Structure 1
């Protein structure tokens, strides 16, 4: 049977070694290489047969094999363990180290480990800034009494690995989020007789932003569909939901020319298939023959209209956001004239919201910035006045429709 060095001096020496390894020798490694190397060193230091990092995925509340030694094929097979499993739950949910000896209760050892002949596991939660990132396990085939020094060493390794893993994940998610955003923003706006269109999209500077979008497309009726939306949430999950909503709204827009009906269907879709998602959406159809917009607002800020007679924040009816489970409520559609030589400005809240001030102040700045001009001139003026040279904290989407005489 394997035994562990349990004297304070031995434990202190191992702590010193593992700190030195993480802080210096491995600092140049990429995340995957760091995980594998650290697992080798931890298993050697603890004289364990296997070691694994299980990454926590909050969307499905799963622990997924990210790296392993001794049971490498668990990673290749993408082993997934529900976080609610008793042992995993004690670590991930309880956020404390835990030792499992299958002699106590063989049923609570997950088949992914039991099938390998592992008899004893010790696991430590991987926490980064108070959030669970994953779980670090080591296991032995023979029954083993892990000491308090073993658990302390494992928790130290888990803490350091969590920060490295979170940093790598954040960089990868931000890159993926920006790539997804760029792929979903229209590369070219439709050419519409009598009006000019222009838009701006600026990614926010804060980590995790990623749910704003705009869209403009031709409809079978000859009308133009205009979308401005903002998914509640952040990061890659919000960007993925945004992509799904964009595609679904386009599909529903082909079926109906009534924006209220389209948003009603979108609400049903989100409520049923995306139960944890919510978004504010402005959907309009523009009729080039009448210069009118039919518009429905699902919790979204109303557009600003400017013409020779003045400029105003429109007073349109606003229904609940999509995803609130109120799909049985009828959604309203209003008519909005695009004034001759006038403009309509759609936007997301990142353009007007600022920390420490009421949103009305930002809306007033926007109203003052929107003047009758070409769509490109209006976009430039609005961005210069409300954003300037500073990187915005939140994502910003801006779309302007300008009617020329």
Structure 2
């Protein structure tokens, strides 16, 4: 008898595992939740099953999927952590059984209206963080057993894995879409100037906080930006998008790159707390003969001039954006940009190597920049990378003043 019960339990567990493993690869979150709830009702022989996910900011559980309690989802029922049946599960992070449902034990009127008599619920936890609550119920009195609890906890574990995997996928897809919308697919045409760029993600998600930007200003000057928001993934891409947009706005009202970065620093400190950002903002004169540049913690670009040795642009590097300290004085440097000259701006992923002093990577870049059309410049510079998979994001922007 004991062996028969053990085999039956094992069969139930294997069925749940098989269902979840199969659906992880082929179902979206909504379909996966529906599939799991159907299976749970069948395996536990219950009448209702529901998933409530945690709204972290509000600290409320939100009805997200349900079988037998569909009205709960239609009304987007919410309950605060600590209140009622589901709220108590979320607060204690322990299974809760109610053998006899009464108004003083639940706060969701839909449970009472549906006629649920007994409830079992467990927390959904991923990597130590509460994700939500999974609960089942019956329309007749039921004594849930430790095996029922164990089975529901297994389903909750599988749901947490699926939720995390799908959330990561959605985050990555959203970040990729956002970043692709912010990285220019084409650079503007500027008389007497040619430009080319490269972007290479260094993170498994394919998304980071590096960016480049080029835009023409009403004054006739051309704005050039290369920047790097710390971190990877969707959050960095979102911050990058906001910083990029803000700098474009400040560029419209500032004739001095240092002033634009000063305003941007105030914005980052106030609205993007904790997001350290480096940036280069340069302005190319309408005739292309001069470049004014300001640097906020960003690597100095390489300037290649015909008849001279390649060197770093002689510009001062001021503190990064968002340090939170007293606003620093920022400086702009104006340099000549003679015919045939090439200016190469980049993020630090291009020159940094593990176990190597940064100066070595910068010297390697200086030596690599040719006096050539910008596509050849980018190809030559990218060829100096010793790996197809850099450990950090790389943004590269080459600008050349055409020979007379």
Provide TM-score, normalisation by structure 1.
Answer: 0.81
Partner of 1:153: 151
SS in 2 for 1:233: strand
Q: Do residues 227 (structure 1) and 187 (structure 2) align?
A: no
Which segment drifts farther, 301-310 or 270-279? Answer: 270-279
Partner of 2:343: 344
The counterpart of 1:135, out of the listed 119, 128, 132, is 132
Q: Determine which structure has more spread, i.e. the larger CA radius of gyration.
A: 2
Aligned pair count reads 393
Gaps of 5+ in 1: 1-6
* Residue 13 (structure 1) shift: 4.5
Alpha-carbon spacing, 1:161–1:378, altered in 2? closer, same or farther (3 Å): same
Q: What is the correspondence of 1:125-274 to structure 2 with a 5 Å cutoff?
A: 125-127=124-126, 130=127, 132=129, 134-140=131-137, 146-204=144-202, 206-207=204-205, 209-274=207-272
Q: Do residues 281 (structure 1) and 279 (structure 2) align?
A: yes
Do the aligned partners of 2:53 and 2:62 also contact (CA within 8 Å) in 1?
yes
Q: What is the correspondence of 1:381-392 to structure 2 with a 5 Å cutoff?
A: 381-386=380-385, 390-392=388-390
Do the aligned partners of 1:124 and 1:154 also contact (CA within 8 Å) in 2?
no
Alpha-carbon spacing, 1:60–1:357, altered in 2? closer, same or farther (3 Å): farther
Give deviations 1:305-362, integer Å, cap 9, x for gaps: 2223111234533333323334633333233333443211111222223344443333
Give deviations 1:261-312, integer Å, cap 9, x for gaps: 2122222223333334332221111114472222222222221222231112
SS in 2 for 1:232: strand
Structure 2 distance, partners of 1:61, 1:315, is 52
* Residue 168 (structure 1) shift: 2.9
Structure 2 distance, partners of 1:382, 1:171, is 32
Do the aligned partners of 2:89 and 2:121 also contact (CA within 8 Å) in 1?
no
Which segment drifts farther, 392-401 or 212-221? Answer: 392-401
Partner of 2:123: 124
Alpha-carbon spacing, 1:46–1:380, altered in 2? closer, same or farther (3 Å): same
Partner of 2:375: 376
Partner of 1:14: 12
Which segment drifts farther, 248-257 or 42-51? Answer: 42-51
Do the aligned partners of 1:8 and 1:149 also contact (CA within 8 Å) in 2?
no
Gaps of 5+ in 2: none
Structure 2 distance, partners of 1:171, 1:29, is 12
Which segment drifts farther, 355-364 or 212-221? Answer: 355-364
Do the aligned partners of 1:54 and 1:64 also contact (CA within 8 Å) in 2?
yes
Which segment drifts farther, 344-353 or 219-228? Answer: 344-353
Partner of 1:366: 365
Structure 2 distance, partners of 1:105, 1:364, is 75
Structure 2 distance, partners of 1:106, 1:345, is 70
Structure 1 distance, partners of 2:275, 2:102, is 39
Cα root mean square deviation, aligned:
3.7
Alpha-carbon spacing, 1:210–1:298, altered in 2? closer, same or farther (3 Å): same
SS in 2 for 1:361: helix
Give deviations 1:53-82, integer Å, cap 9, x for gaps: 345576887765543323335545556667
